[in-house]
Amino acid sequence: MTGSRKRVGVIGAGIVGIATASYLQRDGHEVFVVDPDPPGRGASFGNAGCFNSSSIVPMAMPGTLRKVPGWLRDPLGPLAIRWRYLPTLAPWLIRFIRAGTPGRVEAQARALAGLLGPCLEALAPLVKEAGAQDLVRRLGHLVVYRSDGALAKDHAALELRRRNGITWETLDADALRQFDPALSRDYTRGVLFTANGHTVDPQGLVARLAEAFQRRGGTLHATRALGFALDGARLRAIRTEAGELPADAAVVAAGAYSKRLAAALGDDVPLETERGYHLMIRDPEVAPRVPTNDAEGKFVVTPMASGLRFAGTVELAGLKAAPDWRRAHMLLTQGRRLFPGLAAHYSPARLSVWMGHRPSLPDSLPVLGPSRRSPDVLYAFGHGHVGMTGAPMTGRVIAALVAGRPAGLDLAPFRPGRFA
């Protein structure tokens, strides 16, 4: 380890926070985690569970703006906006639109490739230490299309991936049938990213990693972080609802709730929540071989230990609005089109729904690096749709920064001050 042993507090017990705490601990630091909820109970609980190094395509692409009106008009569409929230959302939307120029998209994809590409390699030692190999699969990820025209619409995104070293197999209708007979015959083209993986239990994986962290001497504090106690630019402690927790360094990995903590350190980060929903079917009649993404519906179906998970879509409504459970139940309607072998009706005992908050920045890149007021407080939030995939390398990078080592990644695109 470069530098001295430190006492480091990580704020946030999701996949990003626990992966970061684990890598810090591997460096020999005394590490504690602060979160009012148990590990993995936030966005990590309800996501699609995918480790997709192929997910380097920014949310804002050239042409995205033209699609938005149609998405908003479609009751089964992938995007919804609560109009009363629009005045608050407007500055983020303007930045989102500006991020979608060809030059910026190229740079964002290149940065994401560096962060997401080594995901499974960086995750492997943590999974091994936690004895969680049974929760991780490396079987690929399938994207399906109803026509050649639908596939052609993804040409720019696929070429962006190709330029960043990502490979895939293209499947015609016959190959799709052979690969997964449960798929509807309405889908005639597929793209299989063979290097991708998934977990069959996202929350269980985070919990298993957290248990290993505790076995090695790490501590979990079930309280809410409020801010920081500084002596000049040096960190003295993390202020929490349970009092001050002394620390030499801190990491803000609180997902969608990180904005106020960054603001306390002088950083105005345009962080929004993309509210995502999921629906689970217990004991489904059919299940895909691998996580399967409907390209036009913008949702993913993942086979999990507890059943079949439909996850996806975006709702922009802030942190406080009540869930719109129609957004979850429409995933079942969409899912039946993808897998017609599913039942027409399910009893409430076999269905469950969930809503969570993806921490989203308008340029699709997380914030990684030191805060404005103190080099002792580092940011690791804003991973949007790629929290599971980006967490392992984020942990490596933050541990390197705390130890004074080279990050192994160009951090300029992720710098906290890029929005100033």
Q: What's the pLDDT score for residue 73?
A: 85
Q: What's the pLDDT score for residue 77?
A: 82
Q: What is the dihedral of CA 32, 33, 38, 40, to 10 degrees?
A: -120
Instruction: Dump pLDDT digits (tens) for 87-103.
Output: 999 999 999 999 999 99
Q: Evaluate whether 30 touches 200 at the Cβ level (below 8 Å).
A: no
* Cα distance between residue 224 and residue 218, in whole Å: 18
Q: Is 148 exposed, middle or buried (0-12, 13-18, 19+ CB in 10 A)?
A: exposed
What percent of the chain has a predicted confidence (pLDDT) above 70?
99
Q: How confident is the model at residue 3 (pLDDT cuts 50, 70, 90)?
A: low
* Cα distance between residue 24 and residue 356, in whole Å: 27
Task: DSSP letter for 93, please.
Answer: H
* Cα distance between residue 360 and residue 63, in whole Å: 20
Instruction: Dump pLDDT digits (tens) for 268-304.
Output: 999 999 999 999 999 999 999 999 999 998 999 999 9
Superfamily in which the 65-101+135-197+272-360 domain is placed by CATH: D-Amino Acid Oxidase, subunit A, domain 2 (3.30.9.10)
Strand order of the sheet with strand 7-11?
219-221, 30-34, 7-11, 249-252, 377-381, 367-370
Q: What tokens does 36 get?
A: 């009012």
Q: How confident is the model at residue 69 (pLDDT cuts 50, 70, 90)?
A: confident
pLDDT at position 64 over 90 = no
Q: What's the pLDDT score for residue 286?
A: 97
Q: What's the pLDDT score for residue 2?
A: 46
Give DSSP secondary structure letters for 143-206: EEESSHHHHHHTHHHHHHHHHTT---EEE-HHHHHHH-TTS-TT--EEEEETT-EEES-HHHHH
Q: What is the dihedral of CA 280, 283, 286, 290, to 10 degrees?
A: 60
Instruction: Dump pLDDT digits (tens) for 224-242.
Output: 999 999 999 999 999 999 9
For the chain, the average pLDDT equals 96
Nearest to 307 by CA among 347, 329, 279: 279
What are phi and psi for residue 350, nearest 5 degrees?
Answer: -100, -5
Q: Evaluate whether 339 touches 183 at the Cβ level (below 8 Å).
A: yes
pLDDT, average across residues 147-155: 96
Measured from the Cβ of residue 297, the count of other Cβ atoms closer than 10 Å reads 23
Domain boundaries, the chain: 7-46+204-270+364-419, 65-101+135-197+272-360
What are phi and psi for residue 109, nearest 5 degrees?
Answer: -65, -40
Instruction: Dump pLDDT digits (tens) for 113-124.
Output: 999 999 999 999
* Cα distance between residue 408 and residue 388, in whole Å: 19
* Cα distance between residue 100 and residue 113, in whole Å: 17
pLDDT, average across residues 15-38: 98
Task: DSSP letter for 362, please.
Answer: T
Q: Is 310 exposed, middle or buried (0-12, 13-18, 19+ CB in 10 A)?
A: buried
Whether the CA torsion 386, 392, 396, 399 is positive or negative: it is positive
Q: How confident is the model at residue 81 (pLDDT cuts 50, 70, 90)?
A: very high
Task: DSSP letter for 47, please.
Answer: S
Angle at alpha carbon of residue 35, lines to 34 and 41, rounded to 5°: 140
Helix/strand/coil percentages in the chain, nearest 5: 40, 25, 35
CATH number of 7-46+204-270+364-419: 3.50.50.60
Spell out the residues 6+ positions from residue 345 whose beta carbon is closer than 8 angstroms to its own: none
Instruction: Dump pLDDT digits (tens) for 190-210.
Output: 999 999 999 999 999 999 999
pLDDT at position 370 over 50 = yes
Q: Evaluate whether 328 touches 278 at the Cβ level (below 8 Å).
A: yes
